[in-house]
Amino acid sequence: MSMNRRRFLQACGASAAVSITPTGVKAASAPHVVVIGGGFAGATAAKYLRMWSDRTIDVTLVDPNANHTSCVLSNLVLNRRITLKELKMNYGGLSSFYGVNVVRDRANKIDGAGKRVRLKEGGWLNYDHLVIATGINMINPPSIDYKLTPHAWIAGGQTNRLASQLNKVGPDSTVIMTIPKSPYRCPPGPYERACLIADIIKRKGLEGSARVQVLDANSSIQAEKHTFENAFNNLYGNIVEYITDVEVEDVISTEGRVITRTADYVGDVVNIIPQQRAMGFIRNAGLTGDGLWASVDPLTYASTVSGFDGVHIIGDSQATGQPKSAHMANAQAKVCVDAIIRSLAGVANDDPERVANITTASACYSPITYDQASWLSAVFAYNTDSGQMALTHLGEAERWSTGNYKQMFGWASNLFTDSFH
C-alpha cells in the first residue's frame, strides 16, 4: 500500500471527519461512496473505505447475491477436495462490523453527469464517488448451452455441474477444455484445471485410456510455463494433449462438439472457458476504450473517459494490463480507496511520495495434483514515464509440492479475511 493506516489517518483521518465534505453535498452530511459488486475488489473497497476514513464516509455496497462465492480455490470443487459451501463469503461482517450498507440489487446504468447509478429494483442511487467492481462478462459462442457444456469460470452452480460431469468420466472418455485469448480471469487457472482433470483421470486408473484435450486460443502457455509444460509433458504425458492457436467459433452442446477455424473436436465432457470482457452496463456507458475492458488511471483507478468524474473501476473489469486475479483485485481496491479518501479530504493524489509508493501484487496458487501445488507471484509499481503499472518482480515455485499445497490454504484464508471480514 502507498500509505499505512496511521499515516493515512494523519492526512485525512480524525480531523477529516469534519473536513471530508465533497462538492454538491451538504456540509453536514457524510460523503457517499457507492460500490457496485461485492467480489474481491468491491468487498475490499467497501471495508477499507469505512476503516481508513474512520467511518466518516457512508458506503453502499450493491450486489445481486446474498453472499459471494469465491472463484479462488474453486478448481478444488472439481476434484472434491472442498465444497462450494466452503467458498461462500457472506457480507454480514461488512454490514454489522464496518457499517457498510449492503443492498441486494443489480446496477444497470450509469449517469456520469448526474453522478448517479441505476439499480434494477431500487431506481437511481446518488454518489460522490462510484466504485465499479463487477468482474467479468462472458462472450458466448453463439449456440452454446452452458447447462450441458459448463464454463465454471464464475464459481457457483456451474462449478458443481462440471464436477458431476467429471465424476462420470470413464474408460476412453475425452474431456475437452478451451482456454480464451489473454487477457482473461486468472492466467494460470485453466492450465491448473487441466492438471486437476488429468489427476482425476489418473486416480480413476484411466491413464492411457481417458484423455484431456486442451484447446488454447493463445500460442503458448500464459503463466507458469515451465511448471505446466513439465506437468503436461511428463506427469500427465499420456493424458493431456495440449494444442495451441485454437479459437472456438461455436459449440454444439448437445453433441459435445467444439467448432474451431481449423477442425471440429468432440468430447464426452466439454468445458468451455469463453472469451471475457467487462459487464454490459460498463461497456454501454462508453467506459471501455478497447470495447472490452475499462480504461482507468492506475494512480486512482478513476475512469479516463471524460464525463465520469468520480467513477472508478477496479478488479477484473479494468484494463491496466495487471493480472486479473483476486489478490490483485484486493490490492487495487486499496489504492483506489486511498485515492478516494484523499480526494474527499482535498489531499493531492499525485504528490511524488504517493506516486513513488503505488505498488500492487498478485499471487496464484495452482494445485497440480490431489495434494501438491505450485505458485506464482507478481509485483507491479507505477511507472512515472509511461503512467502505467510495470512488472517489477516475478516469482514462481521451482516445483510443485505438498508444502505449497498446505500454504495455499493459509494464503487463501488471509485473502478471504482481508477482503470480506
Q: Taking the complex as a whole, how short is the minimal distance between the CB of residue 268 and ligand FAD, in angstroms?
A: 21
| CB closer to ligand FAD out of 152 and 252 | 152
- Contacts of residue 303, defined as CB under 8 A and 6 or more positions apart, other chains included, come to 287, 294, 295, 296, 311, 312, 313
Which is nearest to 133 in space by CA: 322, 273, 305, 311?
311
β-pairing, 116-119 vs 123-126, is antiparallel
C-alpha distances out from residue 381 to 49, 228, 258, 287, 311, Å: 22, 27, 40, 24, 22
Q: Taking the complex as a whole, how short is the minimal distance between the CB of residue 373 and ligand FAD, in angstroms?
A: 9
Radius of gyration of the chain (CA): 22
| CB closer to ligand FAD out of 39 and 112 | 39
Q: Taking the complex as a whole, how short is the minimal distance between the CB of residue 326 and ligand FAD, in angstroms?
A: 4
- The residues binding ligand FAD (CB under 6 A) are 36-42, 62-65, 68, 71-72, 74-75, 106-107, 133-135, 153, 185-186, 189, 279, 281, 315-316, 324-327, 329, 364-365
| CB closer to ligand FAD out of 68 and 342 | 68
Which is nearest to 296 in space by CA: 280, 274, 315?
315
Using DSSP's 3-state secondary structure scheme, residue 382 falls into strand
Q: Taking the complex as a whole, how short is the minimal distance between the CB of residue 229 and ligand FAD, in angstroms?
A: 19
- Residue written as grid cell 462510484: 130
Centroid of chain to Cα 152: 14
| CB closer to ligand FAD out of 139 and 348 | 139
- Contact yes or no for 49/336 (Cβ under 8 A): no
Q: Can you tell me the distance from the alpha carbon of 276 to that of 178, in angstroms, rounded to the nearest whole number?
A: 13
| CB closer to ligand FAD out of 29 and 413 | 413
Q: Which residue is at the shortest CB distance from ligand FAD? A: 39
- Contact yes or no for 333/300 (Cβ under 8 A): no
Cis peptide before 183 (omega within 30 of 0): yes
Q: Taking the complex as a whole, how short is the minimal distance between the CB of residue 365 and ligand FAD, in angstroms?
A: 5
Q: Taking the complex as a whole, how short is the minimal distance between the CB of residue 372 and ligand FAD, in angstroms?
A: 15
What the block records as the C-alpha cell of 36 is 457496485
Q: Taking the complex as a whole, how short is the minimal distance between the CB of residue 133 and ligand FAD, in angstroms?
A: 5
| CB closer to ligand FAD out of 221 and 345 | 221
- Contact yes or no for 48/333 (Cβ under 8 A): yes
What the block records as the C-alpha cell of 390 is 510495470
Q: Taking the complex as a whole, how short is the minimal distance between the CB of residue 249 and ligand FAD, in angstroms?
A: 23
Neighbour tally for 307: CB within 10 Å: 12
| CB closer to ligand FAD out of 173 and 325 | 325
**Side chain identity at 179, as an amino acid letter?**
I
Q: Taking the complex as a whole, how short is the minimal distance between the CB of residue 76 and ligand FAD, in angstroms?
A: 9
Burial class (CB in 10 A: 0-12, 13-18, 19+), 191: buried
Q: Taking the complex as a whole, how short is the minimal distance between the CB of residue 182 and ligand FAD, in angstroms?
A: 13
What the block records as the C-alpha cell of 326 is 483476486
- Residue written as grid cell 495455499: 408
Q: Can you tell me the distance from the alpha carbon of 94 to that of 419, in angstroms, rounded to the nearest whole number?
A: 10
| CB closer to ligand FAD out of 13 and 367 | 367
Neighbour tally for 115: CB within 10 Å: 20
| CB closer to ligand FAD out of 32 and 106 | 106
- Residue written as grid cell 490454504: 409
Q: Taking the complex as a whole, how short is the minimal distance between the CB of residue 299 and ligand FAD, in angstroms?
A: 19
What the block records as the C-alpha cell of 363 is 499471487
